[in-house]
Structure formats: structure tokens, C-alpha cells
């Protein structure tokens, strides 16, 4: 049995994690920026040292390949872009585990029946552009040409311009489409605390939650904060706050696994002595059942309209994303479970409350996911940590699963 050692995973995590790390802690490594490009160069060097055939596609997905008897391909990996001031493990550990797995398989000298590839997907986090799963969508033919100009960062740079600045010709994006994939496996930190709290070393994912995201705009009226009686106000912020509270109540009463977050707010004119007249805020609602997701989303929207009417303000919704929940492939999942048992690594079935490239990949490719513990459940934070031992166990199970699927 091929085994990945903790020291190997620790070295990989620490080396890649230093790229884009900020003086006060946390990493900024966004698609097509300098740190992202530097991380890819480091990965490329490691792949070449391991004897993998290295290539990049038109949008920046980076691949390392072991050629098999068949061109049909088993793919494994994740992403290397981060949230703002993110940690060393989210996404990156899946890429590094794939690297460790493929170089162990390459060292073994055995030729696979199917070809094997690792991938560093070029964007997942939505941190620079609102283009979630950009690399995966490009591989599946789901990128629309107008997105090249419509997706912009905070500086007004379009994703097409950013691609060109990073050395990619945006007009070539259709050439990234793949039709040779027989399976995709993504190893990822849990980003929650179930494995950590239950002292379990591994999760095999059954399903990934669905997303419903929209921006709420509340239009009231600006007035003097001292001379306008409370009963005569059309306070956009108070209407928005009540709506936020009500959607929290609706989702809380629905129970797990329903969750809702209002993480971004913009209040105008933003002065101490003016009643707010314009508020925008975000709604991130998630559920693993599509029918329940749509029912609760409709209930939330209806409650917002009722509050707006009661308070004499206007309300509008701008849909930002409606992503289906996704079950993992039964065959790939069974192979992951069998690999864990062969490696004598205890595992538990899990549902992912976070979005992943896997849920997009699974729309066209048989897909499975492995979770390893996140210390104290931390994620999207500089405090992210997975022990080298847990990382190595996950990578060892990944090797065994790739052997089962490709050899």
C-alpha cells in the first residue's frame, strides 16, 4: 500500500502557504493576480520534478498527468485561489494531496489502465470576480462569452482583461472544454467542526448543499434624524434590519441543514444625523433539498415584500445565484469508502454545507469528495489548520481510491 507521510504534507502546505501570505497573517491569492501566478509556478515545478506531464488550459487550470493505457482520465484536485486573508488549507490541501498522490503513483512505476491527472483549478472562491467555479465551468463548457466583459473586480478590471494580463488569451476559453473525464475526486478540509468534535479522521461526502443568493435593495427616504418623528419615518435601514431578522427566524424554524447569512451591507447616505434612505444587503441561503430550498426562498421574499409594504418603503431583489444541491456519484463514493477501509482509516458519511467545484463537476462527470478535519472548525480564516497526520491520512486514502479507479 502506498502511504503519504505527514512530513511531506507539512512541507507542501508550508511552502505553498507562504505564497501570498500577508504580514499580519492570512493569504490573498486571487485568480490571475501575482500571488496566484507564483503559486502555479511552484506547483508546476513540483509536477515537473515528479515526472508528470504538465500543461495549462486556456483559462489557467493547471494539470499534471500520468499517461495510461486509455486516454479516458481520472481527475483529482481542487483550487489554489483564496478568500481575502484566507488560510493555507481551503482548496490548496486538495491540490497538494493530489500532487502527493500522483507522485507516489509515478514513483511506483506501474502504468495505469486509465490516465490520471491532478488539477489546480483556476478559480472557486468568487473573491475577485463574481464568477464562482470559473475553471470548472470552463472545462464543462458552461462559461458564457459575455462573462469575459461582464465580470469585473473592484478596480473595474474585467475578467477577460485580467486573463490577458496573466498571459491567457480570453478568446480561447472554449478550448478548455473536456470530454475525456471518467471521474473527479476532490479532497477538501471540512470547513466545519463535525469531524473535529467527533474525533473522526475522514468524511465521505454524500451531497453538497444548494445555494440561493440575492441582493436586496430597500428604498426609503432620507430625513433629519432629530426632527422626523419615528412614526413618520420611511427608514430603509430599519426595514432591512427587520427583514434580516425575519429571514433568520424563518430559516431557524426550518431547522438544520437550512442556513442563511446577511454578510454584506451598504447603508446610504451613511451619516449619524440622517435617516438612511437606501440600503443594500446580501442574502446567502443554503439547503440540501431543492424543493425545500425553493419553498423557503419564496417565503423569505414574500416576507420582505410584506415588511416593505408595512413600512412604506420600496424593495427589490437581484438574483446572484441559484445553484442546485448535488448528490455525489454512487460508484465513486463506494470506491472512496472501500479505499478508506482498505487503508484502515475510519470514515463517516457527510453532507457539505459549503460549495465546491465538485458540485459543478458532478453535473457532467461522476464525482466524489473526501473531507479531512478542520481544527476547531475554522475555515476562510488565517486560523485554518489541519494536522499533518490528518492531511497524510486523507492523501493516503486518495492514493488508494485512484488506484481502484485507474489501475
Quote the pLDDT of residue 386.
98
Quote the pLDDT of residue 55.
98
- CA separation (Å) from 115 to 50, 72, 182, 368? 16, 6, 10, 18
Quote the pLDDT of residue 355.
87
Cell numbers for 254, please give them: 426550518
- CA separation (Å) from 241 to 212, 249, 281, 284, 390? 20, 12, 10, 15, 42
Quote the pLDDT of residue 130.
83
Task: Decide if 87 contacts 384 (C-beta within 8 A).
Answer: yes
Task: Say if strands 348-352 and 203-208 run parallel, antiparallel, or are unpaired.
Answer: parallel
- Determine the Cα–Cα distance for residues 80 and 33; give it in Å rounded to an integer: 12
Give span(s): CATH 3.40.630.10, the chain: 6-209+326-406
Which residues contact residue 106 at a Cβ distance below 8 angstroms, ignoring those fewer than 6 apart?
50, 51, 52, 66
Task: Decide if 75 contacts 183 (C-beta within 8 A).
Answer: yes
Task: Decide if 292 contacts 257 (C-beta within 8 A).
Answer: no
Write down the CATH number for the domain with range 6-209+326-406.
3.40.630.10
210-323: CATH architecture: 2-Layer Sandwich (3.30)
Measured in whole angstroms, the distance separating CA 384 from the mean position of its chain's CA atoms is 15
Quote the pLDDT of residue 131.
83
Give span(s): CATH 3.30.70.360, the chain: 210-323
Which residues contact residue 30 at a Cβ distance below 8 angstroms, ignoring those fewer than 6 apart?
36, 81, 82, 125, 127, 128
- CA separation (Å) from 178 to 23, 135, 140, 142, 367? 39, 11, 6, 11, 15
pLDDT tens-digit profile, the chain (407 residues): 999 999 999 999 999 999 999 999 999 999 999 999 999 999 999 999 999 999 999 999 999 999 999 999 999 999 999 999 999 999 999 999 999 999 999 999 999 999 999 999 999 998 999 888 999 999 999 999 999 999 999 999 999 999 999 999 999 999 999 999 999 999 999 999 999 999 999 999 999 999 999 999 999 999 999 999 999 999 999 999 999 999 999 999 999 999 999 999 999 999 999 999 999 999 999 999 999 999 999 999 999 999 999 999 999 999 988 989 999 999 999 999 999 999 999 999 999 988 899 999 999 999 999 999 999 999 999 999 999 999 999 999 999 999 999 99
Amino acid at each position: 500500500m502506498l502511504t503519504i507521510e505527514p512530513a511531506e504534507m507539512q512541507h507542501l502546505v508550508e511552502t505553498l502557504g507562504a505564497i501570498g501570505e500577508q504580514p499580519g497573517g492570512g493569504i490573498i491569492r486571487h485568480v490571475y493576480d501575482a500571488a496566484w501566478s507564483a503559486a502555479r509556478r511552484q506547483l508546476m515545478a513540483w509536477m515537473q520534478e515528479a515526472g508528470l506531464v504538465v500543461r495549462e488550459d486556456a483559462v489557467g487550470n493547471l494539470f499534471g498527468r500520468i499517461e495510461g493505457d486509455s486516454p479516458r482520465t481520472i481527475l483529482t484536485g481542487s483550487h489554489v485561489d483564496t478568500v481575502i486573508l484566507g488560510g493555507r488549507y481551503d482548496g490548496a490541501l486538495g491540490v497538494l494531496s493530489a500532487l502527493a498522490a500522483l507522485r507516489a503513483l509515478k514513483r511506483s512505476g506501474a502504468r495505469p489502465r486509465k490516465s490520471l491527472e491532478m488539477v489546480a483549478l483556476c478559480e472557486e472562491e468568487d473573491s475577485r470576480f463574481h464568477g464562482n467555479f470559473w475553471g470548472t465551468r470552463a472545462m464543462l463548457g458552461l462559461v458564457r462569452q459575455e462573462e469575459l466583459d461582464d465580470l469585473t473586480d473592484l478596480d473595474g478590471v474585467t475578467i477577460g482583461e485580467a486573463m490577458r494580463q496573466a498571459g491567457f488569451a480570453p478568446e480561447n476559453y472554449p478550448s478548455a472544454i473536456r470530454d475525456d473525464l471518467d471521474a473527479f475526486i476532490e479532497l477538501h478540509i471540512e470547513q466545519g467542526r463535525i469531524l473535529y468534535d467527533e474525533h473522526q479522521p475522514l468524511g465521505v461526502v454524500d451531497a453538497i448543499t444548494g445555494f440561493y443568493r440575492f441582493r436586496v435593495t430597500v428604498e426609503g427616504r432620507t430625513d433629519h434624524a432629530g426632527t422626523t418623528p419615528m412614526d413618520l419615518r420611511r427608514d430603509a435601514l430599519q426595514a432591512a434590519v427587520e427583514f434580516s431578522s425575519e429571514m433568520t427566524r424563518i430559516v431557524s424554524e426550518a431547522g438544520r441543514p437550512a442556513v442563511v447569512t446577511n454578510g454584506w451591507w451598504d447603508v446610504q447616505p451613511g451619516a449619524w444625523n440622517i435617516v438612511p434612505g437606501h440600503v443594500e444587503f446580501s442574502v446567502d441561503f443554503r439547503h440540501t433539498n431543492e424543493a425545500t430550498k425553493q419553498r423557503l426562498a419564496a417565503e423569505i421574499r414574500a416576507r420582505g415584500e410584506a415588511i416593505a409594504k408595512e413600512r412604506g418603503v420600496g424593495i427589490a431583489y437581484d438574483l446572484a445565484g441559484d445553484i442546485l444541491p448535488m448528490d455525489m456519484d454512487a460508484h465513486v463514493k463506494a470506491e472512496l469508502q472501500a479505499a478508506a477501509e482498505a487503508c484502515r482509516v475510519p470514515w463517516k458519511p457527510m453532507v457539505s454545507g459549503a460549495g465546491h467545484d465538485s458540485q459543478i463537476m458532478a453535473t457532467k462527470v461522476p464525482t466524489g469528495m473526501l473531507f479531512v478535519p478542520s481544527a476547531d472548525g475554522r475555515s476562510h480564516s488565517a486560523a485554518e489548520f489541519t494536522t499533518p497526520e490528518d492531511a497524510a491520512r486523507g492523501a493516503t486514502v486518495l492514493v488508494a481510491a485512484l488506484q481502484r479507479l485507474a489501475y
